[in-house]
A and B are shown apart, each in its own frame.
Chain A
Amino acid sequence: MSIKYMEEYRDPEISSKIIESIKKLSQKKVRLMEVCGTHTMSIFRSGIRTLLPDTISLLSGPGCPVCVTAQREIDAFIELAKEDDVILTGFGDLMRVPGTDSTLQKERAAGRDIRIVYSALDALEIARKNPDKKVVFSGIGFETTAPTIAASILSAKKMGLDNYLVFSAHKIVPPALAALMETGEARIDGFMLPGHVSVIIGTKAYLPFFEQYQVPCVIAGFEPADILQAIFILVKQIEAGVLKLENGYQRAVVFDGNEKAQKMMHDVFETVDAVWRGIGTIPKSGLKIRKEFESFDAQKIFDVTVSDSKEPEGCACGEILIGLKTPPECPLYKKACTPVDPVGPCMVSTEGTCAAYYRYCI
């Protein structure tokens, strides 16, 4: 059965013609970063890397939520799961991420109550059914996920649920782009901006970044034709020397974004400095629960002390996340670190760059 608004963008005939157009246009050597982990997967799955001319290098960026989560936060989730009256909930990707000494999966095997949910509302339902437990949601993800968590907190308040808590490790994208440009090490000539973060924040949210750094930017969808279109737009801007912030995912992204979702996110969260794996502290790049909602803030309710968080020795996730290294350049890749027995988060998450390289045999 064909799926409307999707199959058309997988049409090989359209894609191969766009590739031809890119080949005709591309002269300068360029390094383009796809910020979003889902873009990385789609690029590998569709074989786009192998079809592009040699002039174009694609770098994967810090857009995989699990991957950029700081080791300290992973360790905090594990500590929370060890509390006797806690049911820890979260998305599946987190389960196997190695903390300093353990993983959520190991803790679950040891008898801790840890549950994978599809949506924050599922966690809310678990809280409703278990009034004698504290149900903590391990909140990771970007502006796409944060409004859904905000909505869950607002719903909990409305329902009078006082045993639902969120540990917010949410992060926002535009400050990370600025951090990448500030270091300058990855030499990025253009950004493919994340499609679904942009659904929420709109094209307008990137304007201050674009105006400050004057680097080609295009919001991209997730199907092969969407990604190729985005590459075409970036190459065209670079070849012509006309730099712009463009929206290449118009069926999903509007200039102002989803204002209802933005309002919920801003009502519940405020920005705070946050630590990103591989990048370090980025000013105002994290989301913290506002004082008004602090009775839902797991960081206020629990005194989670994490001692000596350490990133895995030898793991190059940090450098891979900012485009400085590719997975084959990591000494652990395919040796000590595989999807079955991952050392770093970039190999755990289905959106991780190492997992993508591994799966598609590079």
Chain B
Amino acid sequence: MCLAIPSKIVKIENTIGTIDVAGVKREISLLLLENASVGDYVIVHAGFAIHKIDESTAMESLKYLRELGSIR
């Protein structure tokens, strides 16, 4: 149910966005999102974008994970 593949918005028309996941395109609803823009990475659930990924937060948490892996 919870497909967690971050998808890139490549087109927006009214409340419908087109996402691209590794070359596969499909339409999603943007009704549950504030301020979606082309180029945003979003998490999609049951045909709706439910979250816009903040790049800097994503980078920080990845850095934390790498550090976590090097605890001695």
A-side residues, CB < 8 A to B, are 1, 3-6, 8-9, 13-18, 20-21, 24, 36-38, 64-65, 91, 93, 118-122, 141, 144-145, 147-148, 151, 155, 194-196, 199-200, 221-223, 225, 229, 232, 250-253, 258, 260-261, 264, 351
Q: Say if the beta carbon of B32 comes within 8 Å of chain A.
A: yes
Q: Which of A9, A37, A120, A225 contacts B1 (CB 8 A)?
A: A37
Bound: A145/B71 CA distance, A: 38
Instruction: Collect the chain A residues with CB atoms within 8 Å of residue B54's CB.
Output: 251
**Residue from A5, A194, A261 having most chain B Cβ neighbours under 10 A:** A5
Asked if residues B31 and A5 are in contact (CB atoms below 8 Å), the reply is: no
CA distance A194 to B58 in the complex (A): 18
Closest to B34 in A: A260
CA gap between A350 and B57 in the complex, in Å: 31
Residues of B within 8 A of A64 (CB): 1
Query: CB < 8 Å: which of B33, B46, B47, B68 contacts A232?
Result: B68
Contact check, B65 vs A14: say whether CB atoms are below 8 A apart: yes
Query: What B residues does A15 contact at CB under 8 A?
Result: 69
Could you tell me the distance between the alpha carbons of A121 and B47 in the complex, rounded to whole angstroms? 8
Evaluate contact between B32 and A1: CB separation under 8 angstroms. no
Determine the chain B residues whose CB is within 8 A of the CB of A253 once the complex forms: 51
Q: Give the dominant DSSP class at A's interface.
A: helix
Which B residues have a C-beta under 8 Å from some C-beta of A? 1-6, 8, 21-23, 28-29, 31-34, 41, 43, 45-48, 50-51, 53-54, 57-58, 60-62, 65-66, 68-71
Q: Indicate if the CB atoms of A119 and B68 lie closer than 8 Å.
A: no
- Using known A-B contacts A119-B46, A148-B32, A229-B68, determine if residue A3 contacts B5 with beta carbons closer than 8 Å: yes
Contact in complex: B50, A119 (CB < 8 Å): no
The answer to whether B58 touches A38 (Cβ under 8 A) is: no
Nearest 3 CB-CB pairs, A to B? A119-B47, A17-B69, A222-B4
- Identify which of A14, A195, A232 contacts B4 (C-beta below 8 A): A195
Residues of the A chain whose Cβ atoms lie less than 8 Å from the Cβ of B68 = 17-18, 21, 229, 232
Given contacts A1-B22, A225-B65, contact A199 B60 (CB under 8 A): no
8 Å CB contact of B46 from A8, A145, A250 = A145
- In the assembled complex, the Cα of A4 lies from the Cα of B43 at a distance in Å of 12
* Distance, CA A153 to CA B34, complexed state (A): 19
CA distance A333 to B55 in the complex (A): 44
With A148-B45, A196-B4 known as contacts, the answer to whether A264 contacts B32 (CB < 8 A) is yes
A93 cross-chain contacts in B, Cβ below 8 A: 1
Give Cα A200–Cα B45 distance, bound, in whole angstroms.
11
Whole-angstrom distance between the Cβ of B6 and the nearest chain A Cβ: 4
Q: Known: A91-B46, A151-B31. Is A6-B62 also a contact (CB below 8 A)?
A: no
Which A residues lie within 8 Å of B69 (CB)? Answer: 13-18, 20-21
A310 to B58, CA, bound (A): 47
Q: What residue of chain B has the Cβ atom nearest to residue A8's Cβ?
A: B62
